Structure 1
Amino acid sequence: MKIFEFIALCFFFSLSFYMVFSGSVPVTESEQASLPPRGWNSYDSFCWTISEEEFLQSAEIISNRLRPHGYEYVVVDYLWYRRKVPGAYVDSLGFDVIDEWGRVIPDPDRWPSSRGGKGFSEVAKKVHAIGLKFGIHVMKGISTQAVNANTPILDTSKGGAYEKSGRQWRAQDIGIKEKACPWMPHGFMRVNTKLEAGRAFLRSLYKQYAAWGVDFVKHDCVFGDDLDIDEISYVSEVLKELDRPIVYSLSPGTSVTPAMAKDVHGLVNMYRITGDDWDSWGDVVGHFNVTRDFSSANMIGAKGLGGKSWPDLDMLPLGWLTDQGLNEGPHRTCNLTLDEQRTQITLWAMAKSPLMFGGDVRKLDDTTYKLITNPTVLEINHFSSNNMEFPYIIGTKETTRKNTVISPHPSEVGTSNKRVLGLTSCKYSKANSWSIEALDQDLEKICWKGGLGNEYEEPLCLHKRNFLDDETIFKQQYQGKLRLLSTEEMEFCLDASSKQKLTSRKYKNSFSVCSRDANQMWELNNNGALMNSYSGLCATVSSLEANTVSGGVRSWIATGRRGEIYVAFFNLNAKRTVISAKLSDLTKAVHGKNVKTGTCKCREVWTEKDMGVLKETISMEVEMHGSALLVLNC
C-alpha cells in the first residue's frame, strides 16, 4: 500500500471514530430506531409542491453538510401524488394520480422518474447512493378518488384482483365514508380492517413502498384524536413481514396523552405528541407540559417496532420556510428570534425528540447550520439518559433586582379550577367518570364526576341533543349514540376532531355546529366512559393549568454518557430573568450522583461562558424566551 493511501485510510478511520463518539452520527445497532431518528422533511419549506429536482438538490446538500452530524433521513411530505395545476390544493378532489389498484403514485410531472410504473424507486436509488435513507408521507386508509372510481384491490399473494366468496372486491367495499380525515375530508377515508379485502389493500400499499426502496413512512390522520388503532396495528404487522426495515412514524398528535400512547408505542418508532409546530413562540411554549408528561410516564425510548419508539415534537421550522397550506415553495425566514430558536432545539434535545429539520437546505444560513449541528445538542439528543423536567428552580426578574419570584419552587405551586375537555385512551381509569343526570322526564344531561381537587366546584355537564325528524336514517346508523350540546351554546355539539390541522398551542376538542358527523357521535358505556364514534377515544376533563403554559421558567435535567450532567434553563417570560437552582436539589434528580459544593465545573453552551467551579447554587441570566444549556462535570 502506498504511503499516501495508508495515511488517507488512517484519517478516514480516525474521522469515523471521532464522529461516532462525539455524537455526530448514531452508533449502528441491530434494533430499529435505537436512537431518535434525525433527518429532513420537505413540509416546512415546500408545503406539498416539491419536485423531484428540488428534492434531489436538497438531498445532495444534506448528504454533504448534515449527514456527518447524523441527519440521515430525507422525507417527502404529503401530496406527492397530487398534480400541481390550477384548482389543486390541500383538500381538493380529483387531482391525484392513482394506479389501477387505487393506490396513489407520484405525480409524473413533478416526479418524472416515476413514469412507467417506477414510482419512487429511482429517487430512492439516488438517495441511497449518497448515503441517505428515503422517506415518504402517507395518509390514512384509501383516497376518496379511488373510492369514487371503485377501483379493484390488488391481491399481492396472487398478483391479480382480490376475489373472495365468488366476487371481486373493490374500493367502495372497504372505504368508510363517514370516517374521512376531518382536515382532508375530500382526500382520504378510513379502511375497514375487519374485512380481509381492507387488509389486502393496506398490504398492497406497504409492499409497494418497500419495493420502491422506502426507509421511513410518516402515517398521517391515524393518531391523536384521529386515532385508528386497527389500521396502525395492521400496518405494523405488515412492516414486520417486509424484507426491509421501515421506520414507522405517526402524525399528527393533537390531544395525545401518555395513556393513549401506551396503546401504540410498541407498534411504531415515532409518534407525534403535539399538533403541527410552526415558527411561533406560542407553538414552542405549547410543548413544555406535554414533554414533561411523557418523560414522567417513561415513554422516551420505550419499546417500539423492531426496536425503540420516541415521542415526536414535530419538525424544526428554522431557516428558510413557506407558510402552511400554500401552493408555493419557500419564501420567508423563520419568525422565531435566535433565543426562541435555541429554546426550541434545546427542549427537543433534552426530551430526546427526533430531530427533523424543516427549512430549505439550499439556503441554509450559518446561524441555522450551527444551531442544528451544535455538538452538545446532538450529544444530548442521542446519548443522554434520565431525561426529565427539573422543577426545583427559582426565577427572579432581572430588571427589578429585588428577587421578585416569577416561577415558584414546587412546594409553593397552587392549583387551578379552570377545566378543559380532552380525549384519552378508554383504558385510562379516570375516563370512567361520566354519568347521566335527569333534568326532567324529557331532558337529560351527562356530567363529569371525576373532580379536579375542589369538592365545591360545579360539575361539567353536557346536554343530550335529540335526533331531528329528518334524521331517521342517521339515527338508524348511530343507534344508541348521542350528540352532546354545550350548556352555554345550545346549537353547538361536542366535536372530537377538528376540521383543520391546528398547531400545538390550540386544542381541537371543541364545540362546533351540530352536523351528521361521526366526530360528534358519542356513547356512554356502562362503566362511565364517554366514547367517541370516530376515534374510539374517551372524553376526559382536566384542569386548564395542566394544558397551558403562559410564562414563568422551566428546566430539564439529564445525565451524559460520560457522567456529565446537563441542565437546561428556559425563560418563558417576556423579560430577562435570572434562573437559579441549588446544587443539593440536583442530587434529587440525578441518579447515582451526589452533587457537592466545590466539586463541579460548569460551562454554558450558547454563550460559551466558563462558569468555573460551582458553589451552593447554579445561576444564569437568561434572555426573554431564551434558554441556558449548562454542562456540569463533577
Structure 2
Amino acid sequence: MTPKPLILLLALCFSLFSSAQDSLLAPTPPMGFMTWNYFGDDINEQDIKSMADAMVEEGLVELGYEYIFIDDGWQGGRDKRNNIIPDPEKFPSGIKALAKYLHSKGMKLGIYSDAAQLTCAGYTASLGFEEQDAKTFASWDVDYLKYDYCGAPTDRKTAEKRYSKMADALQNSGRQIVFSVCEWGQREPWLWAKEAGGQLWRTTYDIRDKWSANAPEGTNLHEESIGYGILDILEINAELDEYAGPGGWNDPDMLVVGLHGKSGPSGDQGGHGATNTEYQSQMSLWSLIAAPLMISNDVRNMDEETRRILTNKDIIAIDQDPLGKQGKRVINKDNWQVFVKPLTDGNYAVGILNTSEKKQRFKENLSSLGLDGKYKLLDVWSKKDYRKTDKLNFQVQSHETLVFKLSR
C-alpha cells in the first residue's frame, strides 16, 4: 500500500503539473487570421469585425482559428502622455472595444509593434516605451503581440536584449499576452527566443504567394529581392525540429492559401500565386512541422478549394496535436521529402512531398522512416483507409504532399 504522505505528494505534483499546463501560453501553435498579406497597412476596425464575423460563419473559429492578428498600420502615434494610440480614423471605437467584440465571439486579438522607433511601414513603434506600451496593450485586453525588428541593429546581442525587455514588460502588464518574436531568423532565434520570453519566433524572411523562388543554389534571396516561396521557407524551417514544442514554436510565416496572386505584400518579389495543389501542400507541410496556422486570404470571399484546404479537421489535428512535436524530415533527396511527426496517441503522421515537376511513384518501407511493424493508413485529404502495411507505395503529383495518419 502506498503511504498516505506519498499519495498526497503525488497528488500535489500532479496538481502543480496540471496548473502549469493550464497556464502555459501557446501550448499548441497559434491559429487565426493575420491582416498583413491581404490588407497591408490599409486596415480598419470594420475590416476586422467583418473578418471576425466571416470566420465564425465559416466555422473557422470552431476549428481553432481563434485569433485575429492586426499587423502594421493600426497606430496613430502617441498622446500627450506618450501613450501609444490607434489611428482615430481607422479605429474610431478604439482597440479595447474591438477586443471586446472579438471576445464576445469566442475569439482573441493580436496586435503589432516593433523593437525600434518606427515599424516596418513607418508607424510608431515601442523602443524605449516597452513597459508603457505593454500596460496599454493589457488595458486594451490584447491577447498576442507580434514584435517586429525593422530599423534595429543587426547583431544578436541587441536583439536578445530588446526582445527580453518587451517580454518582461508583457509579463509585468497584468495580462497573459502571447509574445511573437519576429526578427526573421537572421539571428537564430530558435537558440534564444524562448529563454528571452517568446512563445514563437519567425525563422525566415516574409513568405510570398508562390511555390518557389526557382533561383540558382546559393542565391541570397533576400539580398537579390527575389522573395521566398513555400518551398524556400520549408527548406529553412525543416531543419529546426528539435527547437519546437509546447510553449515555443518555430514560425515559418503565414499561410498563403487562397491568395491567388493578390497584389500587395505577398504579391511582391514574384508572388504571382500558387496552384491549389501547392496551397494544399503548404497546409500539409505547415501542419506536419507544427507551425502556427495564420491564414491571410479574404475569408469573407473564399472559393470552395480554399475552404476545403483550410477546414480539413484531420490536418488541423496533426498541427494542433498536444504532444507538440515538430515533424522530422527523414528523407530529403531525389526530389522527395518525407516528414514523420509523432502524435500524442502513440500514432504518427507521415507526409510525402514530390518536389519534382512531374508525377512520380514513391516506394519505401516504413522501417526506412524509423517506423517498425505494420500500420493502418488514413489519407487525411482523400479520407481513404488502407489496411495494415509496412510499405508506402503511392503516386504523388508534382508539388503534391500526401499526408497519412498511421495507427496500429
Query: Structure 1 length as normaliser, TM-score?
Result: 0.54
Partner amino acid, structure 1, of 2:379: E
Distance between the aligned counterparts of 2:265 and 2:208, measured in 1? 12
- 1:134 counterpart = 2:109: yes
Partner amino acid, structure 2, of 1:265: K
Report Cα offsets for 1:481-522 as digits up to 9, x if no partner. xxxxxxxxxxxxxxxxxxxxxxxxxxxxxxxxxxxxxxxxxx
Distance between the aligned counterparts of 2:205 and 2:356, measured in 1? 23
Look up the match of 2:296: 358
Tell me by how many angstroms 1:52 deviates: 1.1
Q: How does 1:135-284 map to 2 (within 5 A)?
A: 135-143=110-118, 191=127, 198=128, 201-221=129-149, 225=154, 227=156, 228-257=159-188, 260-266=189-195, 267-282=197-212, 283-284=229-230
Tell me by how many angstroms 1:389 deviates: 2.8
Partner amino acid, structure 2, of 1:74: I
What SS is found at the alignment partner of 2:248? strand
Look up the match of 2:36: 43
Q: 1:220 to 1:67 in 2, by over 3 A?
A: same
Q: When the two structures are aligned, how many residues end up with a matched partner?
A: 362
Distance between the aligned counterparts of 2:358 and 2:154, measured in 1? 36
Look up the match of 1:98: 78
What SS is found at the alignment partner of 1:113? coil
- Structure 2 segments unaligned to the other structure (5+ residues): 1-20, 213-228
Task: Give the helix-richer structure, 1 or 2.
Answer: 2
What SS is found at the alignment partner of 1:391? strand
Partner amino acid, structure 2, of 1:366: E
Distance between the aligned counterparts of 1:361 and 1:202, measured in 2? 33
Tell me by how many angstroms 1:234 deviates: 0.9
Look up the match of 1:29: 22
Partner amino acid, structure 2, of 1:376: D
Distance between the aligned counterparts of 2:359 and 2:259, measured in 1? 28
Look up the match of 1:633: 407
Aligned alpha-carbon RMSD (Å): 2.6
- 1:610 counterpart = 2:385: yes
Distance between the aligned counterparts of 1:112 and 1:226, measured in 2? 39
Report Cα offsets for 1:321-368 as digits up to 9, x if no partner. 743349xx9xxx982111101111111101101111111111122221
Tell me by how many angstroms 1:103 deviates: 4.6
- The partner residue of 2:358 within 575, 596, 599 is 575
Q: Out of 567-576 and 377-386, give the one that drifted further.
A: 377-386
Tell me by how many angstroms 1:372 deviates: 1.4
Look up the match of 1:340: 278
Distance between the aligned counterparts of 1:632 and 1:75, measured in 2? 34
Distance between the aligned counterparts of 1:261 and 1:581, measured in 2? 32
Structure of higher CA gyration radius: 1
Distance between the aligned counterparts of 2:283 and 2:153, measured in 1? 23
Look up the match of 2:53: 60
Look up the match of 1:300: 244
Look up the match of 1:315: 254
Tell me by how many angstroms 1:576 deviates: 1.1
1:558·1:566 contact (CA, 8 Å) conserved in 2? Answer: yes
Tell me by how many angstroms 1:578 deviates: 1.5
Tell me by how many angstroms 1:126 deviates: 1.0
Partner amino acid, structure 1, of 2:245: G
Tell me by how many angstroms 1:128 deviates: 1.0
Look up the match of 1:532: none
Partner amino acid, structure 2, of 1:263: W
2:257·2:280 contact (CA, 8 Å) conserved in 1? Answer: no
Distance between the aligned counterparts of 1:299 and 1:392, measured in 2? 19
Q: Out of 312-321 and 29-38, give the one that drifted further.
A: 312-321
Tell me by how many angstroms 1:566 deviates: 1.2
Q: 1:325 to 1:350 in 2, by over 3 A?
A: closer
Tell me by how many angstroms 1:632 deviates: 1.8
Distance between the aligned counterparts of 1:41 and 1:631, measured in 2? 29
Tell me by how many angstroms 1:275 deviates: 0.9
Distance between the aligned counterparts of 2:345 and 2:326, measured in 1? 15
Tell me the percent identity: 25
1:50·1:110 contact (CA, 8 Å) conserved in 2? Answer: yes
Distance between the aligned counterparts of 2:207 and 2:48, measured in 1? 22
2:135·2:174 contact (CA, 8 Å) conserved in 1? Answer: no
Q: How does 1:428-439 map to 2 (within 5 A)?
A: none
1:256·1:273 contact (CA, 8 Å) conserved in 2? Answer: no
2:28·2:324 contact (CA, 8 Å) conserved in 1? Answer: no
2:290·2:325 contact (CA, 8 Å) conserved in 1? Answer: no
Distance between the aligned counterparts of 1:584 and 1:204, measured in 2? 55
Q: How does 1:382-531 map to 2 (within 5 A)?
A: 382-383=320-321, 386-392=325-331, 407-408=333-334
Q: 1:210 to 1:583 in 2, by over 3 A?
A: same
Partner amino acid, structure 2, of 1:294: L
1:317·1:334 contact (CA, 8 Å) conserved in 2? Answer: no
Q: 1:261 to 1:583 in 2, by over 3 A?
A: closer
Tell me by how many angstroms 1:231 deviates: 1.4
